Amino acid sequence: MSNLTPIPGRLFHEDVAAAKPDHLALSPVLLGGGVFGFDYNTADTLKSSTPAETLRLCLRYGVTAIDTSPYYTIAEEVLGNALDEVRDEFPRSSYQIITKVGRYGRTKADGFDYSPERVRASVKKSMELLKTDYLDGLYCHDVEFVSEQIDDAGHAGWKVGPDGKLREEDLKRWGLADGDEATIRGPGDQRVLDAMATLFALKAEGVIRCVGFSGFPLPTLLRLARLVKAHLQPLDIMQSYCHHTLQNTTLATYIPLFEAAGVKQVISASPLSMGLLRNEGGQAWHPASPELLKAQAEAVAVVTKAGTTLEAVALGYGLASAGSSASHTPIVVGLSTPEEVHETMRVYAELYSNPEARAAREPGTGTFAGEAQKKQVELEGQVAEIIRKAGAFNWTWDSGV
């Protein structure tokens, strides 16, 4: 059996029961449940004791929130069984579950159902699989596949200028100008509003504590956050992924705009860019461009020469907050094994034992005293520069188009 003793002990001490209304008491790191499905692991691993051991160790470190989805193949079932196994040590009140509705298949044509009836049925099924009678958080999953597409908001390219800022002309063409907040652009937007209305109703019924949506293209997510606020009420939670990494730091630019749209908590996911920022690279299905793949290979050579791995450097940056210290931005990390949990917590303890060190920064910047921290910042800068020279820094791939 793996070593399930936390080293150097419990890192996070958030009181789950002490969360403010419409907020979740989230530690800086959340456990990403996608790894408990077939996209990232084999049937043999998922049927073994590894998921329960991984979960127990996460909870012992104080990682007390879990993010999952029906879309992640059998992840909800695997997590439900694992949660049942650790219930002797961790009762339901000691952790938080966030799952999703709306996405159930691979394609835009037949993988989505945002109807109120399916939303309610999906919530019921998820709670059965996860062995709970309430959910702490619920997202409409990959909302850009259902909403209307505005100009090139969801297409591959850059969603900030070369200076990392948004341009007025981009705000206008993406439907983000002042006065556009309540504009319903078509039936897709109405389906999103209907689904969100159902989520807010389930919240009022006490089934869910916080609601919101998740997705990839930040301009689309921002437009929809403003739309939902204008027609219903502000989002409690919102999750984006792959926008706070060594390859893409765009989330930092958008966070103040999400907050202005009333979003109470912004959560980031996938600091390794869906597995791309690892020595072994991403899965075959990863949508990285040829330029980005070439930069990844060059970055691996640099960090290997320095005696570390690309995933360690990428994780060290991704564990920092994407927002200011006042805008605490938790990060969802997929952890498949106890060894991965230990390594992630080691990196966190080494770099961010002082919580103030998590404040937002660009790769390769920050004032740190320790040698490990200085090495981390130096390698961050080198990796980011490789990606910049390849023309792939802050580049995003198609999503929802």
Which positions are catalytic?
72
Burial tier of 305 (Cβ tally within 10 Å: 0-12, 13-18, 19+): exposed
Helix, strand, or coil here: 300? helix
Rounding to the nearest 10 degrees, give the CA dihedral for residues 214, 216, 218, 221.
-30
Scanning 62-160, the segments in alpha helix (DSSP H) are 75-85, 116-130
The residue length of the chain stands at 401
The CA distances from residue 178 to 168, 169, 261, in Å, are 11, 12, 11
Torsion of CA 276, 278, 283, 286, to 10 degrees: 0
* Nearest-10 crossing angle of helices 116-130, 75-85: 40
What backbone phi and psi angles, to 5 degrees, belong to 62?
100, 10
The torsion region of residue 262 among left (phi > 0), alpha (psi -120 to 50) and beta comes to left
Question: In this structure, which amino acid lies at residue 190?
Answer: Q
Rounded Cα gap, residues 53 and 189, in angstroms: 42
For the chain, count helices (H), then strands (E).
12, 10
Question: Does residue 239 contact residue 67 with C-beta atoms inside 8 Å?
Answer: yes
**Backbone angles phi and psi of 395, in degrees to 5:** -70, 140
Q: Are 244 and 329 in contact, with CB atoms under 8 Å apart?
A: yes
Q: For residue 309, what are the CA distances in angstroms to 269, 279, 306, 323, 400?
A: 20, 6, 9, 26, 32
| Number of other CB atoms surrounding residue 306 within 10 Å | 13
41: helix, coil or strand?
A: coil
